[in-house]
Chains A and B, each alone.
Chain A
Amino acid sequence: MGKEDEFAAVVTKAILQAGGDEIQVAVLDDIVEGSKVSGSLDASIAAVKTAKRRPGDFGMEIVGALLIPVLIEAAKQFWAAYVKKLAEKTGGDLAELTVTQAKDVARRIWTGEEAFVSVSDFETLVRSAAKREGLSAEQTDKLVRDLRNPSVANAFEAS
């Protein structure tokens, strides 16, 4: 899993935990486990989006809330934007960034210490991804409330 994926997984998990979405957290853990086999978070998410119909299934296609893909997509875009701005301003290279350092970056963003990007930038990306994935207004608003929850920053420190 690349740094972008790791950052996205860390941020997504923290937001879901802040929102009390235990089930989604369990699914994310499953997806991250799967990505170690498939090599990519996107491939693991794609596997969890599809299902083959078998006798004994209920068999009706009913779409569930795609919270995780929305957060993952937004977080990856957020990471890309952050890396680009950092490189432009300081010429820094994040290629060797560790997971711990990525969490630290996330913590600084959520506590407002980071100058280049803010939580509001992430909120914009989340709203845009939510619209693309067809989330309802209520679901999007809850996601935004959760990502602005102060406990998100604590989750980065604790992990």
Chain B
Amino acid sequence: MHSRRPDHGEARSERGETFRVAAACTIEIRSQVAVLGAVVFPIVALILPSAFCAFAVYVAFVRIAEQLPSAGVAEALAPNWGALWAAATASLTAILGWAFVRNYKNAQAENGPTRLPVGAKGELLKDRVAALWAELETSRAAPEVVWFANFGVLAHARSGRNGTAIEVSSGLWERVVAGDSLAEGILAHEMAHLVRGDPQVFAALGSAAGAARLSIRIATLTGLAAMFVLVGDEALSGLTAQTDLSATLLNITATVVLAGLVLLALPLGSTIVRRHCGLISALMEMRADVLAALWTSGLARFAKTFETYPARRQSTLADVGHSLFSPNLTHLSEAERINLLYSRDRLITPKIRYFAFSIALPFLLPTTAATYLIAGGAFDQALVTGVAVIFQLTTAAMLLNAGDAGCPSWRRVILLGVALCFAQALPRINLASIGYFLTNYAVAIAVPGGFGSPTSWEGVFSDACLTGDDVFQEFLDATYLGWFFVAAAISAICLKALAMISVRVRQHDRSGYLCLVALAAGGVVSVLSSYDSWRDEFFRHWPLSVATQWFALTEPLPWLRLCAPVLTIFLTLAPFAARVTPS
């Protein structure tokens, strides 16, 4: 951990705490990057788009083949679904790789117009940056300082083939020259980015999001092309068979609506990837704030400097909404960043409110009309499971790191306990009935009563109520009614206990190995507890097939599955922590 020479008078314990807080931020960032790379991106940017492409080509081929006069030609053209999907997956993999590399190279090359600072004030700026960098006890070369014209107080850290640089706006330059403490904090924030290698990660995140967007766009265009083939075929059939024009139009409308519902999954997928990348960016900005506070005036004073600065823009409700929901998130709002800096509890634990949308979006994927049909909805379930599991592990890991930073409050662990149990329940709640309901009524446009759908408004309302009831029942089954709160209480107690034993755990001779084993065990239990018998394609195969045995084992106390991951981690570590005499 890069430190600063301790000559600014703050207590050693405060600096130790802030180190732990920065380490907690790093754990959260790495966890989210891991789930993005291992689960979210492969499913949303590759598997689902390739399935859509294969399906679109398959449907178009089948429809074309049906129109051909010769059965032999039709048979020869009949596509093999498995081969189609494999070909689509291979093609999109190559495209994703190419797009990522291209985007990354372009990101490295992209720089706005900047100039070297000149004159006496230019020298002052360079000296201040060099002096602050020298205090960081880092072996890295000091960054170049360049400036750009802007009245705002802005800064940007960049890294590329020509080395690292801090870009300062003319507005910030004046603040630095004036010896403004705010300016020092801003420069420290940018230095934190450079010390942690953040510019490369930002470039990679942006490249990944761009590559995902391209893959999804290709799948969408392929889907639209297939839709046009189907619509054209409907129109041609209507003309040649001389059927009633209104019937043909209804068929075409139903085709278009159904295609729209199916393809809706793709922009939702793009939003999932972009939001996840945005969340990681915002977490990295928070870590830079924490490190800057460590290197300058401490968390509370750093926050106070920005809170009380008169020229700072006040955050609005729209800014808060942006932090909570925007797929274009880069930074949390000013007010939220300051509030976080004041709250050690929130800094050393996962940022639930910003993470919530990142788990809600995958959860909503089955409401579109097609993803629940791909491997029986197993990929949908895997996506939510992956995000939920990483939430469990991140929380435990951050609390094990807590140590010197102190235990989180009971209020915080209770909130986390509830959130973790709810996240654990989500993979077992299947919203496919909503997707089916929408598909049903799309088909009913052309074929009233098709799929058995009612033809009266009372019938539609009744169907909607049944669907809602279905989903509600799934929710009750997955959360185990009132026992949910018992599970949440046990989770909260385990989380508190984990934080309390964290110092002893870290003092154990084999602490790294122990934590790894405990987290792995907790992760396995979390995956097994996510088992959904309706979407069990992956759970039919070993080792996930033990999930049915796990469910049989926990049948007397099924609600225990909600808190089992955190309980497992605690029970794995507690015996070892008990043997350590704290120093």
Binding site for B on A (CB under 8 A): 22-24, 26-27, 30-31, 34, 48-49, 51, 53-66, 68-69
Contacts and interface: CB of A to CB of B under 8 A. Distances in A.
A56 B152 contact: no
Given A48-B149, A58-B155, A64-B169, 12 more contacts: A23-B170, A23-B173, A26-B147, A34-B149, A51-B169, A56-B199, A58-B154, A60-B337, A61-B313, A62-B153, A64-B152, A68-B151
B284 A58 contact: no
Contact of B119 (A22, A60, A63): A22
Nearest to B309: A62
Query: Size range of the interface on B?
Result: 35 or more
Nearest to A68: B151
Interface of B: 115, 118-121, 147, 149-158, 169-175, 177, 182, 186, 189-190, 193, 198-199, 202, 205-206, 281, 284-285, 306, 309, 311-313, 330-331, 334, 337
Interface-central residue, B156, B202, B284, B312, by most chain A CB under 10 Å? B156
Nearest to B201: A55
Contact of B156 (A30, A48, A56): A56
B190 A58 contact: yes
B149 A54 contact: no
24 contacts: A22-B120, A26-B115, A26-B147, A26-B170, A31-B149, A49-B151, A53-B331, A55-B202, A56-B158, A56-B190, A58-B189, A60-B153, A60-B312, A60-B334, A60-B337, A62-B182, A63-B153, A63-B311, A64-B150, A64-B152, A64-B171, A64-B311, A66-B151, A68-B151
Nearest to B199: A56
A55 B279 CA distance: 11
Contacts of A26: 115, 118-119, 147, 149, 170
Contacts of A61: 152, 312-313, 334
A61 B186 CA distance: 12
Contact of A62 (B119, B199, B311): B311
A66 B173 CA distance: 14
* Residue from the set B182, B281, B331 with the largest chain A CB neighbour count within 10 Å: B331
A10 to B, nearest CB: 18
A134 to B, nearest CB: 9
Contacts of A65: 151, 171, 174
A56 B205 CA distance: 12
A30 B316 CA distance: 32
Nearest to A60: B334
Contacts of A54: 156, 330
Contacts of A60: 153, 306, 312-313, 331, 334, 337
